[in-house]
Amino acid sequence: MADSFKQTLTQGSQGAPPRPRAKMPFLPFIALPRELPPGRVPIADMANAFGVTHRTLHFYEEKGLISSSRIGLMRVYDASEVMQMAVINVCRETGMAVAVIQELMNELCAVESQHTAEAVFRSALAARKRELSAEMSTLHRQLQQVAELLDSNTEGDGPHNDNAAEQALTDQELRCLALMAEGLSTQKIARHLDLNESEAKSIEASIITKLRANNRFQAITKAVLLGVVQV
């Protein structure tokens, strides 16, 4: 009686156990990690096998994606939960949002065949692929805009060659450019090169002109892209 009462108190102090979710008889086939031990898997082994933290597993339980049972105070996962975790982990690696994974798992709960489970999973992956393609398109467009800004000429400039600009930089300009890339102000650059501030400003202006940049920042960015300086 005393032991039973003590056990009740212990469970109460740990909070309510995770709410069990419906078992999924059919799941898409995902290869399981080889590191998993046979039988019910302790939380430490589960985390290590899938490369996640205990906190992540707790979070998935809170979201109803997986559930666990207990051996004493230790969380353990049965084979079906391990298989669900494999699906969840793959989805997270593709960048799917947790809310999307929740919808997917709800759909998988209702399927009545392995073929349907695979089809539902492929549909989710296809949707994610479309999202990634759209994101890539946006990134490419932004990259093109940045490149155009970096390569833009002032009005009246003719054709140019970046390699020629690089070669036209003097040794002093290269030293100044390296200091600019380190984030030093014109005043500090002047002290490093034993110049007065006016001379340092003149060198910076020459660098900006030779790299066909519009400002100090663009000149540094172009120099980095060309490999003239390292950051």
Where do the structural domains in the chain lie, given as residue ranges?
A: 7-124, 162-226
Give yes or no on whether 7-124 and 162-226 have one common fold.
no
Q: Domain 7-124 belongs to what architecture?
A: Orthogonal Bundle (1.10)
pTM of the full structure: 0.56
pLDDT at 119 exceeding the cut of 90: yes
pLDDT over 90 for what percent of the chain?
Answer: 45
CA separation for the pair 80, 24 (Å, rounded): 7
8-state DSSP, 19: P
Token pair belonging to 3: 């032991």
Cα–Cα dist 27/24, whole Å: 7
Residues 133-168 pLDDT 10s = 888 888 777 777 777 777 765 444 544 455 555 558
Amino acid code (one letter) for 211: L
- Contact call for residues 169 and 159 (beta carbons, < 8 A): no
Which of 122-126, 162-166, 180-184, 221-225 bottoms out in mean pLDDT, i.e. has the lowest? Answer: 162-166
Query: Per-residue DSSP letters for 107-170?
Result: HHHH--SHHHHHHHHHHHHHHHHHHHHHHHHHHHHHHHHHHHHHHPPPTT-----HHHHHHH--
Which residues, listed in sequence order, are joined to residue 31 by a DSSP beta bridge?
none
Mean pLDDT of 108-114: 92
Architecture of domain 162-226 in CATH? Orthogonal Bundle (1.10)
Q: Is the pLDDT of residue 19 over 60?
A: no
